Amino acid sequence: MNITKHIHLFSMRTRQTLAVMAALLMGGLTVPGAEEGHEGHAHAEGDSAPPRVTVTREQVARLGIKTAVAAKGTIHREVRVPGEVLVDADRLSHVVPRAPGVVREVVKTVGDHVAAGDVLAWIESGELAKAKLDFYAKEAEVSCCEIELPRAEAIFNNVSKLIALLKSGPDVGEEAIRELDGLEMGRYRGTLLVAEAKHHAARRVYERELELRKKDISSEQDLLAAETSLKQARAGFLGALDTARYETFIAFTEAINVRQVAVFDAVAAEQELRLKGADDSMVKALRDLVPKGPSLVPCACPDPECGAVKIPAVREALGGDERFAWYALRAPFAGAIIDKHIALGESIDASSEVFTVADLSSVWVDLAVSQAAIPLVGEGHAVTIRLPDGGAVEGKIDFVSPLVEASTRTALARVVVDNREGRARPGSFIEAVIHAPSEDESILIPASSVQLVHDHPSVFVWCDGAFEVREIETGAEDSSRVAVTRGLAVGEKVAAENAFHLKAAYIKSSRGEQGAHAGHSH
């Protein structure tokens, strides 16, 4: 028997001795043969049947004796360990400035409870102002591209239509060409039409010289000159067509690329601006300042047909706000401010931890598990945490460290505890009981069922209207149950509550028998 069991038996013996003394004073129960003097004693010695304590229903009710059924189950070993309540590091945030600047207003202080997004302080930053300007410039480039790209696309498409029309044959009429009037073609409309007109004129001259030569009116030299002019005009015309198609395609492609790059730059500038502390309203205000073209900008001219464009004024749009370079430090989530290092007017940089916000609705409880107890502790094991105020909370082990701390020779076991009631305060030292399940099932009975009878663990088993005294062997135990390794079968009923009354009756009868036996010997 190990030292733990010796201590337990000593404690049990002390408690039960006091209970038996009280029960002896009360009396009321009998043991068969206890009142028969010498005959009863002889019967006890000659009969192998175990001793029994008889009771009536009235006695059971009056003494509050209750029974429990021995059943298979798993005992939980209790491992007692010290621990500490800590802030949940997953719900802890060190709020730092988005950009260096000067503190202009401090809104919250230590102890304040905040919601997600609440303003903690206002910071004025030159970097923010620069980021705003850069964002505006990039957005303006995108706006220009939104004008240039559709124009480049229209020129390419319209020039392609004109080229297809001019190449359809020499008999293209003026009416067909007029149908393309009003379409955006840039300088290429004039270039192509002039080249086509030269080609048409050279062809007519050549055809006239050819007819005159057939009639022997014109010379061979004039015909050759007209033919040369026709070829030159045709080459110029076809070259103009090819050049126009190529240049408009290249211009359209470049416009696409320029717009893509401008959009990328604007997205990067917006990200940089938000990193400096800008919120959605600030980004929208700057974006609204960018002119979107005459068709989208309201006209201030009294005459709606004048076509004048109103250029947004930056100062007017911003309302002359002195907070142009201000940004808000905001709470990242709901919680309480547990630390503050910020003062009005001081200069801070991006590495300053100015506020610490913690969500204390859940906390960590870190337990120090000794080397000997490590094999008994695992993730998912139930834990009872006894708080300094005398209360207790329940939890489960979420993490067991695979490492042993060299200085303390203990391993970390962590419990995440629901702390919405605020009972567990970070920084408190606590004691915890880890309920470690055993590997095998055993026959389990209530711990109160086990009575020390003549220094042997025993139970009182209900049999045919009486309680039979039976010696047992016990194994593992927890705070409320004991495992029986010998002397009891599954399904048997044992006295569970107030069993010490039965023990008192049995001890009293045993003493009586011993006295009678002594007198007889005398």
pLDDT, tens only, 352-378: 899 999 999 999 999 999 998 999 899
> Both tokens of residue 265?
């730059």
> What's the confidence (pLDDT) of residue 36?
38
pLDDT at 20 over 50: no
- Virtual torsion, Cα 209, 212, 216, 218, nearest 10 deg: -50
pLDDT at position 78: 83
Residue 231 has pLDDT above 50, yes or no: yes
What is the C-alpha to C-alpha distance for residues 77 and 438, in angstroms, rounded to an integer?
7
Contact 20, 504 (CB under 8 A): yes
Q: Assign 255 a pLDDT band (cuts: 50, 70, 90).
A: very high
> Is 0.85 topped by the overall pTM?
no
What is the phi/psi pair of residue 361, to 5°?
A: -70, -20
Provide, for the chain, the percentages of residues in helix, strand and coil under a 3-state DSSP scheme, each rounded to the nearest 5.
40, 25, 30
Segment 413-432, tens digit of pLDDT: 999 999 998 899 999 999 99
CB 435 within 8 A of CB 76: yes
Query: 346 near 104, Cβ under 8 Å?
Result: no
Q: What is the pLDDT of residue 475?
A: 84
Distance CA 115, CA 334 (A): 4
Q: pLDDT tens digit string along 65-102? A: 899 999 998 877 789 999 999 999 999 999 999 999 99
CA triple 119-120-121, angle to 5 deg: 100
Is the pLDDT at 177 greater than 70? The verdict is yes
Please give the mean pLDDT across all residues of the chain: 83
Section 456-462 average pLDDT: 92
Q: For 178-203, how does the pLDDT look when each residue is reduced to its tens digit (9 = 90+)? A: 888 888 899 999 999 999 889 989 99
pLDDT at 169: 73
Specify the residue for token string 């695979």: 402
State residue 292 phi and psi, 5-degree precision.
-110, 15
- What is the C-alpha to C-alpha distance for residues 290 and 292, in angstroms, rounded to an integer? 6
Domains and CATH numbers, the chain: 3-75+442-521 (2.40.420.20), 78-91+358-437 (2.40.30.170), 94-122+328-357 (2.40.50.100), 128-288 (1.10.287)
H-helix or E-strand spanning residue 414: strand 410-418
How many CB atoms are closer than 10 A to CB 232?
A: 13
Q: Is the pLDDT of residue 17 over 90?
A: no
Q: 123 pLDDT exceeds 60?
A: yes
Mean pLDDT of 165-189: 81
